[in-house]
Every structure is written in C-alpha cells, then in structure tokens.
Structure 1
C-alpha cells in the first residue's frame, strides 16, 4: 500500500437433570455469569492484541466451562444424579441419501432454525458464525452480502458457495447476475433444517459449489391433522428504532395419507441504525438502512399410490430498502469519517423480488428410486441511488468538467434472472453391499443487467448499458459406494458438464464499456470425488476425501481504458480446485458427548476475479494460484438433563502462490481478502421445570470472528517491478459478540426475552477499498448494535 497517511474512503461495483427451582436459578445465574465472564476475557485479550496466542487455546474456554459444569454434576447429591439421555441422532441428506450426521463422510453442520429464533436470530448470517468453517461478510440488509467456506474467497463474480432449496439450485452461476451477493436467505421461511456442507461438491451439486453448499430442507405438510403456529418478535436496536417480525404457518392433510398442504409466511420490518449526514447528495435522514421484507411458502405433498409420491413448492419473497449499512472509512488508523453510525452516501432505493415454482416426483421401483425435479425461478433486483461521492470524479474526467463541478450522479440499475432446471436421477436402495446413483441435469439461465449513470447539473450521460447474458449447462453424474465389509467402504463420484455461455452489450455513450455483439463460449468440465470411510465401532467414523470443484467459463464484458482500448480479457476461463480432507466424527459417554473435526488442504488454480478500470469493473482470471489449508471442529456436550454446550473452532490460511498482476494486484504470500483466519463460538441451552406445567429455559452464546484483510498491500514483486493493488487493503479487526435469552413454555405457548450483542460491541463485518479516479474510497459494514427484544409463539 502507499503511505500510511493515505486516505481510504468502498465504492459499490457498478455492474441438567431435575432439581429444585432454587438450584435451577443458581445454575442459570452461574452459567450466564460464566458466559459473560468468558466474553469479557475474550474482549480484554483481543484489545491487548494477543489473539493469536489466545486462539490456540480457545477450545479450553469451552472445556473450562464444561469442566465446571461436569464437576458440579459429579459433586451433586446422589439423588440428583439420575441417568439422562444423550443427544438424539440427526439424519441429514447432504449426500443425497438419508444418512446419520455421524456416518456422513462430509463435513456438515446441521442447523435447526427453531433453536435460534427464540434468541431473535432469524437470518442466515445470525447462525453462520456458530458454524465452523463458514463465514458471512457484509451489512445488515438481506442482500448485498457474501458467504465463504473454508479458504475459498469470493474473488470473482460467480458464486463459490452453492445455495439449494431441497433439490433446487438457486441463484446464478453467471458472472454478470450478482449471484454471490444475491444469495437466498430462507431462515425465516418454512424450513425444517439448514445443512452447511463444507468442501467442494462438484460431483453432487455441480458448478459454483467449490467452497461448499448451503442447503435448506423445507417442512412437509402435516399428516396427523390440522396444526400451525403464530409468532411475534418485537425488538429495539440501540442507535436505531423499533423492529417487528411476524410469522405463521398452517398445515393439514386434505386426504389422509394421500394429500397434504401447508402455507407459511412472514413479514419483517427492521428500523435500521445508520444515519445519513446533511452533506450527502440527498440530505440528512435517520435509520437509512431500514428494510421491509416478506415471504410466502406453500407446499403440497401427494402419495397417489404406494409407489408414487411427489410435492409442489411455491416461494415468493420481497425486500425493500432505501439505504445501506455502510460508513465511510479513512486512516490509518481506520476510523469512520462521519461518526460510527453515519454515512455520506445518498438515498439508495432497492427492491428485490424472488419467485420459485418447483415440483418433484419420486417413483419407487422396489430396487431403487427414480426422482425427477423440475423448477423455474425468477429474480428481479432493482436499485436507484445518487453515487456522486463514488463516481463524481469519473464523470468529471469523462466530460472534461472541472473538479467539483458534478454535484449529483443518479444511478439506476436492474438485474433480472430467469432460470429453468430439470434434474433426473436413479438411486439404488440401501443394501450395505454396493449402492449407486446416476443422473442428469439441465440448467438454462438468462439474465439482463441494465445500468444508467448521469452527471448533473450538466446532464452528462456516462453510462447507459443493456447487458444480456446467459449460461446453459447439461451434465451427467454418478457415484457408487462399495462396502468392503461392515465397517469400511469407498465411494467414487464423477460429473461431466457441457457449458455454453453468451454475453452481449449495448452502451449509448460508449465511454466506459464498448458495444459488444453477442459473443459465446463453450467449455467441458469434469469433476471427481473419492471417499474412504472406516467405522471401527458404532460411535466413531473416520473418513478421507479428495474432491474437485469449479466455476464455469463465461464470455466476458469489454472495458475501455483511458485510451479507448479494451482492458478486459475476452473470456473468463473456468477455475478449478482440488481439496484433500481427513475427518473424524464420534460420540462418547452414551452419546452425551459428540465431536466432529476435519483437516483440509486446497489447491486452487486459475481463480476467477474482478478487475477494475477507472472505477468500473469486469471479470477475469488471476495469474497466481492459491493454496489454502486449515482445520475445523465442533464439540457438543449434554452436561445434564436439559443442559447442552456446543462449541466450535476453525482456522483457515489462504494465500497467493505467486505475484498476481492480471487481476487485482498483490504479492505472493498475501492473504485472500475477507477471510478471517480464526473463528470460534460457544453456546449453551438449559431447559428446566419451574412448576408441573411451566418449563423455563435460558440460552446464551459467544462468537469470535478473527481479523481479516479487505484487499491487498502490493509492493515490489519477485522480479523487482512495483505491483499496485486494484483492491486496496484496510484491515478489519477481530471482534467478540454475545447474546442471551430467557423464556418459559406453558403448554403450546412459548415466550422469551433476548439481547443480541449484549456488550454493544462496535465492529466492522465487511468492507472494501479500491482506487477510483484520483483517490481511493473505502467503506465498511457495521455490526448491529445491542438489540433487545421479546418473542411470543403459540402452537396449535
């Protein structure tokens, strides 16, 4: 990076067992006190910049907390130490078969959204920090954020993490449809379970799943009669206002054992906490990052015959907001320019609508199952903003105007993506001898990206783009598992994909991008996986896995430099990676202790990246490979009847192998951006009886997110030349945040109060800095301040 006094100001890219009540209260207070104490210790150590040494022993915090509770249980009176059961066995479908979590030879974190909703944690970002090996970066809005897994940075415009709703791939694998930032958050929807599947899943889940997959499993309609629930979540955020989240669900069989239906919905208003300063292009305003969102889920299941079953799913969601969670940064030291919760950006009206129709048919042949999944999805994302702070100087350069002459730069954008997917597969029955699955998938997506940028008062038109793009893919896949004996098996998987992409562009002024008649590209990609699993006893599963993943080739968008020449490559080539992983999953003490750990190594080649010219951006490929390695682990302990502790720890080291000069500009050895090396968490849940008819509960959690770089430093390369980064770096410091909730259950009624970020920690959750014309502008996303609320739920 240049001088330490260089100003950085982020430009958006254009394009326990039963005891007395008194003893219960004592344990609750003791548990909460330990949780708060641990959080305070974490914060003090972080402030002293000792996090590296401390993190090496973060698991001891969980063990120390656990040890004190186990010691209490061991020293408790004999009549209070009755036997209690361990964790229930969890069945997941990450491998496209119903297998217990312990026996799945993949690193998977299974999340029940209901466990988090009583804490006011109702978004995907709220629960990801409790999952090892997964990271969420960005602001508080439901859009405009990124998910990464392990060391696979979101370096390009095509996603590195796949999103699935049941068997349906969501979003875009196109480089020009904002796929990474428009991922689908279904945590408030009619979802039974979320599976975070880590590591490349190219053979099972296809392209753009090279880091892993987020898979939502929807709830089936009731087969036992009419049922439902209603829930209200009311809260207030410091520095902000009053928030509401209402949801409900009804479900009923229409024909017993033959036909059932469920309908669920939610409506959320978040009041925001970022204020706009008077000097912004659209004047002063408060809580500009507020948003409204709602969603509707409807599902029908049918079993017309003994062998034939099917379901139909309809989903519609909508988000509206008039601002973003961003503050302007300058440094070093890097501090907000206008105050901790203030922005100079103008009003940004954003609307995001998503609609999905999906149907699945399953026929049981006796020896195997035939599955057909058909889906159509439509997403429309539009926004309008005044971007004079970001692009005013660029417009002055293009128009020949004097510095400061452009006082307003209205921008409008529209991204529309339609995608049709048809998948069929034939899967053998479980037989503990040789199990197999074969299938094919066809995907066809078309996107429009329309952008317009003007400069006032002159009315200078800088950009008027109509960008059309598409990706068509056909793939065949298969895998087979051979059981050498009852305890040892091997699985081999393969996928062959044929991919066609196209892009065309029309720009009226032709000053930033050039007109481009339709240009197409074709590619063939093969991916593989090899897994060996050994189960020395029913309570231990060991596995080794080698797998590959990819993002598909795309025709590229031309971008003009100052001389009017195209500075972008014609093709964004396929990037690929190979992952090598060993893991262990097991249970101890009659399933009262569960553990899951994995070591992994990744070799990533030809990574797709975003490149910049005069503040505008397009795609390309880096000329350096990336090496990443790390570990992740989780430990769950059933301390006593009703009392659970769940902790996690992960480490990820992801760096460039060589000097990078083709894309973003960086030196060999620099860290990939927006990837924290360390993350850790511990959460506890305690359910206890208050009376014969009233149960109480307390939940608490502490999360640690390590420091990360937002860009690259650059400097003198290996050949002696100076490398200037196109994504400049300002480091984001590590932080600790904690939440707690208390509640009661009376029959079918649940009520709780909660506090999120109870110490009101101020921290950045994401950010970026990159050169524009004559300066570098940096912005950061802010961690949501302390939020206190209450949840009231009735089941019927």
Structure 2
C-alpha cells in the first residue's frame, strides 16, 4: 500500500497517457485504487491558504495523507499520523490525548503553550495558553469520517494566528452529499504483543433530505486499545494504560440556492484511559528500572479522560466576484488526569515535610487535576475569485476562552486511612483574541506571482487564583490582567515556467503570546529572584526556498525546500522545589532541508521523503543549565520515510501489497544540564510496517497490516512534568514512552 507521502508532488496526467493506463489497471469504480495510484499534484486540493486550490500552487511545504490510508495502516492516534511525516514529531505526555506536536524542530521540550495549531476544517480545537495546559492536552482525533489530514509546515501566523509558529495540522472532514444516499460500516481487529486485542467499530450514513438541496451525514465509532504498560508496586495492574475512545459526528448541509449554503455540525469525542503509557527509566543509564521495559511502579492509579464537544456553523455566499464565509464555533474541552509521584519524591517529602508544615508521614502522593476550557470563536472572511491580475483575501477573527482549573496535591497519611491535601488550587483564566488579516497576490505575468499578507492581533488576559495548603506558593489569592498585541507578516515570490514546475521564495513570521503567572510569595527553598508576574511573547521569522516539479510525463515527481528560522525570546519553564515559573530565555536558530519524491513505474509506486533539521540555541543561559549551541528538544537531525506499493489482481479483484520504513536519528528530550527539563537521550530508530489488501467486486475492502514488524522497543518520548523531571535529575525515575510492540490487524470496510 502507498502512504501518499508524496502524491502532492506530481502533476496531473492525461487519461490517455499510456503510462497512466499501465500503472492503474484496476476497475474504474475502485475509489481506493484511484486515490492511491493516480493521485497527482494537480488533483490534490488543499486549503492551506484558506481557499481550495491545487497543492502545486501553494508556495509552502504542505503534505496530505488520506484518512483511508491511515485506517488501512492501522494508525489510530495523532502519534501514529505524525510518525509518517519526516520533520514532524509527537512528544507524548502520557498517552492518547496527552502530548504536543513539533514541526521543524520548533520546541523547547517542556512547552508553555503549543507551537503547532490543530484545526478541524476551519475551527481551531483546544486551548491556546499555558493556563489550559494547552501544550500537555492536545485534541487527538480518531479517524471519524475524516477525508484527509493536512500538515502545513512553517509559521502560519498570518492566516491562522497565534500558536502556529512551527506549523499547523488540519483535519478535513467529509461533507454531506445532497445528491445520493450512501454509507459504510466497518471494523478493525488487531493484536498487540505483550498487550492483547484491540478493536474498532465504525459506521457512516449520508442521508439526502431534499435532493440537491439538503442532506444529513451521521458517523459514529467505538475504539478499544489494549494496554501495553504494566503497573507494579502498591497499585499493580496488567494493561495499565488500556484506552477506550468513542465519538459521534452529525453534519447538516443545506444549499437553498446555487450561491448560498449552510453547514451545521456537532461532534463529541471522549477518550478514557486507565493510566499513563509510561515506564520507569534511569536518567543516567537510559535503562528500565522497574523490572521490564514497559513497567511502571505505582502507588496510585492514574486514570485520564478527555472530552470534546464541538459545535460549528458555516454560511457561505458566492457574490460571483468573491465568496463570503461566516464561521461560528463553540467548544467545551475537558481534561482530567491523575499522576502518581514516585517513591523517591515521597521519601524526600517525608524528610522535608516538617520544614514547611506537613505534620504527618505519607504513604502515597499524587496529583488530581482538571482543566475545563470553554471556547467560542467567530471568523468572517471574504475571498476573491482567481483573477487574471490579482487575488485577495480579507478577514476578521475573534476568539474567547474561559478556563477553570482545579488542582490538588494529595497524599494518603500514615497510618491509613485518610487523605491529606498538601496543596489545593482553583484557577480561573481568560484569553480574548481579536485580529484582522488579509493577503494580496499579484500575478505579475502568467509565470510570476508576488503575494503579501499581514495579520494584526491583540489579546487581553486575566488570571485569578485561590490557593491553600502547606506547600502553597501564593497562599490566599490574587487577580491579574494584561493586554498585548502582535503583528505577523508573509511575503512570497513564485515562478511557474510551465504546468509541471514551480519555484518559490517565502518569508513569514509567527508568535506565541506572552502571559500571566502566579506571583510566588513563598517556596520550599526560598524565594526565586527570577520570578515575575508576566512573561513575554516569543516569535520567529522563517525564510524558505522551494521547488515542486514533475518529470518524465509524471512518472517522477519531486519537491524540495530549504529553510532558515530565527527564534527569539524562547519561553522556558524553570522549576525549583516549590514553584514553577516561565521565563524568556534567549534565541535559537533552526536550519533545515526537506525532500519529497514519488516514482510510479508501471504497477509500482515508490514514495520517499526525508528531512534534515539542525535546531540549536544561540545564547548560553548558565542559570538555566543551557549552553550555547545546545540541540533543541525533540529535534532529530535526520528523519526519513520510504513507502513502496505494488498493485496487482487477485482472482480478478484489485489488490496491493506494500511496506513502509520509518527512520530517525537520535533526539534529545531536554537540555543537558537543565534540572527543569533534563536530557533523556532518545536513540535513533527504524520501524517497518507491512500491509496488503483487496477490494472486492461489490466494493467491500479487506486490509491486513503489521505495524512495527521487527518489534523494535525503543524510547520515543518522555513525560514533561516539572516535578517528575526535577526528581529524575537527582536520581529518581524518568518516565519514558516506548514504541508500541508488534501489532497484527485486519480492517474491513463495507460500503452501502
């Protein structure tokens, strides 16, 4: 099977081209075959620039991967989706729904807020700020009625605003069809070594209500994943990270006239995990320390739930000369987690407890936290038609987020029973963002384009806190408020000498807003002189050169780009025993080279993509343990993916067999001498996935996959918790996530 890592690099071929005919001998009605075997640059439509256009006309690095392809590979989470994209990394914070995405090395490890935004169609999902723990809790969409996933590389600040410094991931859904009834049902069954059985059921129905005028589309799924990790100690359990994800999506499409359309959608998804997908490792030796590579010593269970309810309304009107879009959304994004603190931390607390008022010995210590984000957004956008001389786009954006956080540091006292609260926190925060943006493209000649864009943003924030307990850093309460503004810009020059080649130069900027933090009045080890009530925005400027082209009548397609990123005023966490603060700490630089290629000789398709990323600090900060030239966390110097597929017939039915090889050089999980974010070295690794499938004459498909076929057990991420990482730096366990063991599965889809 072909993963479509590079289909957006070829140019559409004529149906009369013999090469196309020989490479696509499958039935015309076979949508799977057509998508994977004949998709070319001219046919890949993306929305990266907020308008539907061929990928070849987008002057930036954009990758697309179909949801159908991911489903047939057995990919179930954002970590899986990202792993096929060189230069993209998912840093897990504990499992499905917990983690952050890094693109082009734009990461400081334990991040304050995201550097990659996540969208569903035109709606941003999840929190935007540190108060919502937005760099820890990331919406992890299951493949529920998705058409494809777009990966937009590099800063996207002009069209997508704050938090898209490294790039953007967009889930693009299937829209209701007002012309015909259709639907599908399917299931997925797999077995993971050392874990057990996984299974998924899914169904979708498209129901025309009034032919060519209105339709309703409904989809639902239920997904169970066996737990891989084993808890030992006071709270033993097999499959301690067992996960259940379920969801439903409903969309209503109404097209009263040829010019006017309405789309109303509602979706809900819930992730419920029994515990973290983390194991105990030694920071110094890099080896497991609790009896096995997937073992974790626990005194208290660690359930996690993530719930998203999202409602969106879109109205579009075509004036002829331009299209007006009105997009409203409301979402409730709730994350609740429990995290056990290891024995070493508990022992340290029992020794130091009397110093700051803990008057009893404790047998367990854990955090119980909940984050409830209510977010409403409104966008109005006017987009011109493609013109002979000029194209333009203007828009206005408004976003309001309100957060309620409840945080408790709890312990079971000795002798039991009894729960002792060391710290209780109730936080209320607000973030309001407003922006105006626009871009203009001048078609200087049929070959040359010049485009420029700007976005002016402002935000107001407030933060209030009520805190008590013997280890409270700000006992009592406080209330703070701030207002700030930012401007992002974009300039591109494109040259298309013909329909098969495109060259571009692009300069763009992005930023993360600054924010508020608690005024630290007391700590366990004394006051922190660097603590301030605010921290500033960090920003970056990216310069990119690229080429997209097709050769030998479309048999070979190639895309290559080089970029240079200047990152200023990095936002960093600093942890000392008793409080956590955010500081702005110097500058960084990232240079990179990315390659995508596709070769389609006859029945074969061979896709290869690679990325070289050199991400490092420019300034030494000895007080933070950061040296000049230190590698930025979670940035592999070299990554690559090789995907091969062969199409054939099996008893008269269309069939395929393929393999995907994923390679990565070593990465750093933190900075070498930083106790707040210690450096656990993640080794270089390679994973091989195999798959094969057949599409039967009546349209049903059966796909078999073998993920991690060589059963490699390699660390791929660490838990970025300030307290845990501080403890690891003084000898405690480092919490590490490993690759999922070998998984054999079958996916069946039945259209109707």
Deviation at 1:387, TM superposition (A): 2.5
Q: Which moved more, 1:514-523 or 1:121-130?
A: 121-130
Q: Is the 8 A contact 1:174 1:470 kept in 2?
A: no
Rate the CA distance shift 1:447–1:83 in 2: closer, same or farther, 3 A: closer
Q: CA RMSD in A?
A: 2.4
1:750 — aligned with what? Answer: 701
Deviation at 1:124, TM superposition (A): 2.4
Deviation at 1:646, TM superposition (A): 1.1
Q: Which moved more, 1:125-134 or 1:252-261?
A: 125-134
1:557 aligns with 2:518: yes
Tell me the distance in 1 between the aligned counterparts of 2:609 and 2:359: 52
Rate the CA distance shift 1:180–1:786 in 2: closer, same or farther, 3 A: same
Q: Is the 8 A contact 2:331 2:374 kept in 1?
A: yes
State how 1:647-686 maps to structure 2 within 5 Å: 647-661=608-622, 664-686=624-646
The counterpart of 1:617, out of the listed 580, 588, 601, is 580
1:446 aligns with 2:409: no
Q: Is the 8 A contact 1:210 1:548 kept in 2?
A: yes
Question: What secondary structure sits across from 2:444 in the alignment?
Answer: strand
Tell me the distance in 1 between the aligned counterparts of 2:313 and 2:23: 51
Tell me the distance in 2 between the aligned counterparts of 1:589 and 1:87: 16
2:81 — aligned with what? Answer: 127
Tell me the distance in 1 between the aligned counterparts of 2:288 and 2:411: 27
Q: Is the 8 A contact 2:324 2:383 kept in 1?
A: yes
The superposition leaves residues 465-505 of structure 1 with CA deviations (integer Å, 9 ceiling, x where unpaired) of 01111110110101100010001001100000111111111
1:343 aligns with 2:296: yes
Q: Is the 8 A contact 1:557 1:619 kept in 2?
A: no
Q: Which moved more, 1:764-773 or 1:217-226?
A: 764-773
Tell me the distance in 2 between the aligned counterparts of 1:544 and 1:352: 41
Q: Is the 8 A contact 1:196 1:212 kept in 2?
A: yes
The counterpart of 1:461, out of the listed 421, 424, 447, is 421
The counterpart of 2:250, out of the listed 289, 298, 306, is 298
State how 1:622-641 maps to structure 2 within 5 Å: 622=585, 624-641=586-603
Tell me the distance in 2 between the aligned counterparts of 1:612 and 1:159: 19
Deviation at 1:621, TM superposition (A): 1.8
1:369 aligns with 2:323: yes
1:141 aligns with 2:102: no
Tell me the distance in 2 between the aligned counterparts of 1:780 and 1:531: 41
Q: Is the 8 A contact 1:130 1:682 kept in 2?
A: no
2:72 — aligned with what? Answer: 118
Rate the CA distance shift 1:520–1:671 in 2: closer, same or farther, 3 A: same
Tell me the distance in 2 between the aligned counterparts of 1:445 and 1:493: 26
Tell me the distance in 1 between the aligned counterparts of 2:167 and 2:152: 5
Rate the CA distance shift 1:333–1:394 in 2: closer, same or farther, 3 A: closer
The superposition leaves residues 565-594 of structure 1 with CA deviations (integer Å, 9 ceiling, x where unpaired) of 355321121111000000001111222222
2:227 — aligned with what? Answer: 272
Tell me the distance in 2 between the aligned counterparts of 1:450 and 1:597: 47
2:566 — aligned with what? Answer: 603
Tell me the distance in 2 between the aligned counterparts of 1:442 and 1:331: 44
Deviation at 1:383, TM superposition (A): 2.1
Q: Is the 8 A contact 2:467 2:474 kept in 1?
A: yes
Deviation at 1:154, TM superposition (A): 4.6
The superposition leaves residues 138-188 of structure 1 with CA deviations (integer Å, 9 ceiling, x where unpaired) of 277212121001020154221100111111111111112121232222241
2:680 — aligned with what? Answer: 730
Tell me the distance in 1 between the aligned counterparts of 2:251 and 2:556: 36
Tell me the distance in 2 between the aligned counterparts of 1:404 and 1:208: 44
Deviation at 1:189, TM superposition (A): 1.4
Rate the CA distance shift 1:183–1:200 in 2: closer, same or farther, 3 A: same
Tell me the distance in 2 between the aligned counterparts of 1:706 and 1:312: 45
The counterpart of 1:170, out of the listed 106, 125, 128, is 125
1:761 — aligned with what? Answer: 712
The counterpart of 2:269, out of the listed 317, 334, 337, is 317
Deviation at 1:658, TM superposition (A): 1.2
Deviation at 1:752, TM superposition (A): 2.1
1:40 — aligned with what? Answer: none
Where does the alignment leave 5 or more consecutive residues of structure 2 unmatched? Answer: 7-20, 27-36
State how 1:136-535 maps to structure 2 within 5 Å: 136-138=90-92, 141-155=95-109, 156-277=111-232, 279=233, 281-282=234-235, 284-330=236-282, 332-338=284-290, 339-345=292-298, 346-389=300-343, 391-393=345-347, 395-396=349-350, 397-400=352-355, 405-457=361-413, 459-509=419-469, 511-515=471-475, 516-535=477-496
Deviation at 1:83, TM superposition (A): 10
2:666 — aligned with what? Answer: 707
Rate the CA distance shift 1:249–1:523 in 2: closer, same or farther, 3 A: same
Tell me the distance in 2 between the aligned counterparts of 1:695 and 1:416: 48
Q: Is the 8 A contact 1:521 1:553 kept in 2?
A: no
Deviation at 1:376, TM superposition (A): 0.3
Rate the CA distance shift 1:403–1:102 in 2: closer, same or farther, 3 A: farther
The superposition leaves residues 205-231 of structure 1 with CA deviations (integer Å, 9 ceiling, x where unpaired) of 000000000011111112331111111
Tell me the distance in 1 between the aligned counterparts of 2:474 and 2:362: 24
Rate the CA distance shift 1:390–1:524 in 2: closer, same or farther, 3 A: farther
The counterpart of 1:583, out of the listed 536, 540, 546, is 546
Q: Is the 8 A contact 1:132 1:634 kept in 2?
A: no
Deviation at 1:133, TM superposition (A): 2.3
Rate the CA distance shift 1:383–1:607 in 2: closer, same or farther, 3 A: same
Q: Is the 8 A contact 2:82 2:88 kept in 1?
A: yes
Tell me the distance in 2 between the aligned counterparts of 1:712 and 1:478: 39
Rate the CA distance shift 1:328–1:615 in 2: closer, same or farther, 3 A: farther
Tell me the distance in 2 between the aligned counterparts of 1:97 and 1:166: 12
Question: What secondary structure sits across from 1:203 in the alignment?
Answer: helix
Question: What secondary structure sits across from 1:102 in the alignment?
Answer: helix
Tell me the distance in 1 between the aligned counterparts of 2:90 and 2:601: 30
Tell me the distance in 1 between the aligned counterparts of 2:693 and 2:578: 51
Tell me the distance in 1 between the aligned counterparts of 2:739 and 2:342: 26
Tell me the distance in 2 between the aligned counterparts of 1:792 and 1:658: 54
Question: What secondary structure sits across from 2:519 in the alignment?
Answer: coil
The superposition leaves residues 269-314 of structure 1 with CA deviations (integer Å, 9 ceiling, x where unpaired) of 011111111x2x32x2101011101111111111112221120111
Tell me the distance in 2 between the aligned counterparts of 1:172 and 1:442: 14
Tell me the distance in 1 between the aligned counterparts of 2:459 and 2:182: 45
TM-score using structure 1 length: 0.85
Tell me the distance in 2 between the aligned counterparts of 1:118 and 1:413: 36
Question: What secondary structure sits across from 1:207 in the alignment?
Answer: coil
Question: What secondary structure sits across from 2:632 in the alignment?
Answer: coil
Question: What secondary structure sits across from 2:56 in the alignment?
Answer: coil
2:31 — aligned with what? Answer: none
Deviation at 1:405, TM superposition (A): 4.1
Deviation at 1:691, TM superposition (A): 3.0
Q: Which moved more, 1:484-493 or 1:743-752?
A: 743-752
Number of residue pairs aligned between Structure 1 and Structure 2: 706
2:734 — aligned with what? Answer: 778
